[in-house]
Every structure is written in C-alpha cells, then in structure tokens.
A and B are shown apart, each in its own frame.
Chain A
Amino acid sequence: QVQLVESGGGVVQPGGSLRLSCAASGFTFSSYGMHWVRQAPGKGLEWVAFIRYDGSNKYYADSVKGRFTISRDNSKNTLYLQMNSLRAEDTAVYYCAKGQLRYFDWSYFDYWGQGTLVTVSS
C-alpha cells in the first residue's frame, strides 16, 4: 500500500532554515510527480511546490519562491523541501502528496502523508 511519511518539522526562529523529508513506499516513486502542500493552523490548504518525476522540472508558489527548494532522491524514494529565510507566516503543517498519473506534471493528489508541523517563532 502507498505510504508517505514526512519528517523534519520543528520549531525554528525567523530567518532560520529547516529541511523536510517525505519517505515514500508502496509505489514506483521515480514515476510520479510529487507535491508539498501546507496548512496554517485553523486555515485552508495552500499548494507550495511540485517536482517532476525525474526532478527535471520544479514549480513553486509565489509565497515561497526564492526561499524554498524542492528536490528528490529517486534512489532513496525520498522527497525533500529545503526551507530558508523562514517567516512567521510559514508556520503550518506541511504535507507531501503524490500525483495521480505517471509522468504527468499536473494530476490530482491521490495520496497524502500525515503531515509535519513547522513552527516559526522567536
């Protein structure tokens, strides 16, 4: 069965950095685009970033462009999100999500991890 397990969340000061990981299993990770989605406390869902199945293309929300970097290691079945210059407004639960269709950039998010909480506070 498909499993996505995020890790790496925690408390960080404004201006600091954090790297999130998402360990994938139960499917051919190297064939699917992957996303990060976040949810601030008590708020709705916000798409953050996408990486193509082979890592050759990446897209970002304007709110994180230039500060966050998405990457993947297909040999380790792991997705990453490097977050730099963190701000209070980046405080959220961060979910990784799998694209539904092999090799497609935009497809629906059919599996999600349980999320990892990032808190940016002094």
Chain B
Amino acid sequence: DIQLTQSPSFLSASVGDRVTITCRASQGISSYLAWYQQKPGKAPKLLIYAASTLQSGVPSRFSGSGSGTEFTLTISSLQPEDFATYYCQQLNSYPAFGQGTKLEIK
C-alpha cells in the first residue's frame, strides 16, 4: 500500500502569509495527487488535482506542484477563510489520504 505523509501536521500562520504544505508518497505516484480542504463540520472540498491543476472556482492563490514522491500545496497569501485542515490524496492505486495538516491562525 502507498502511504502519504504530510508535513507539518500543524501550522500556525497569519493572514497574508505564504504557506507551503508538503506531501510525500512512500513510492512514486507520477502526478496522481489531489489536495482537499476541510473546515470543521463540513465535507472536504477538492482544491487541486493531477498535482497542479486548480479545480474550477478555487482561488488562484492556491497552487500545487510536484511529481513522483514529493508534492507541495502553496497558498500565496493566506485569507481568513483559508484556515482549515488540508489533506493530500493519491490515486495511483486504491485511494489513500495523508494524515492532514491543520492550518491555524497565529
């Protein structure tokens, strides 16, 4: 089974900051990676798929990069509505999620 490890697990930042979350796969997954955002009590929302393609309607301050085993999600300038938990997901084999990164307000 392919394991995904996100870092950091917790991140404290301020409005306007640039933040980066990393997702590492235990084996190569090409570009079969997505990022989801989840707010408390809500369903996850697809942000980025195929490692770097922005889902329709998602603000351009979100971007994704990487291939193989290392991937990043970057938020260029944090907005108040971005404080949430972020998950990566691989689709190279049976779907699997990373453990999550909780982004909190500093």
Asked whether any CB of chain B lies closer than 8 Å to the CB of A68, the reply is no
Q: Which of A59, A108, A115 contacts B94 (CB 8 A)?
A: A59
Determine if B97 and A45 form an interchain contact, defined as CB atoms under 8 angstroms apart.
yes
Determine if A112 and B43 form an interchain contact, defined as CB atoms under 8 angstroms apart.
yes
Return B59 CB to nearest CB of chain A, in Å. 17
Within 8 A of B (CB), among A40-88: 44-47, 50, 59, 61
Chain B interface residue count, CB cutoff 8 Å, equals 22
Determine if A106 and B46 form an interchain contact, defined as CB atoms under 8 angstroms apart.
no
Within 8 A of A (CB), among B65-100: 87, 89, 91, 94-100
Interface centre among A106, A108, A112, A113 (most CB of B within 10 A): A108
Within 8 A of B (CB), among A76-122: 95, 100, 106-110, 112-115
Return B99 CB to nearest CB of chain A, in Å. 5
Interface centre among B46, B55, B99 (most CB of A within 10 A): B46
Name A35's closest neighbour in chain B (CB-CB). B95
Can you list 14 residue pairs at the A/B interface with Cβ under 8 Å?
A: A35-B95, A44-B97, A45-B36, A45-B44, A45-B97, A47-B94, A47-B97, A50-B95, A106-B32, A107-B91, A108-B34, A108-B46, A110-B55, A115-B43
| A-B CB proximity, top 9 nearest | A112-B43, A47-B95, A108-B49, A45-B97, A44-B100, A108-B34, A106-B91, A44-B99, A110-B46
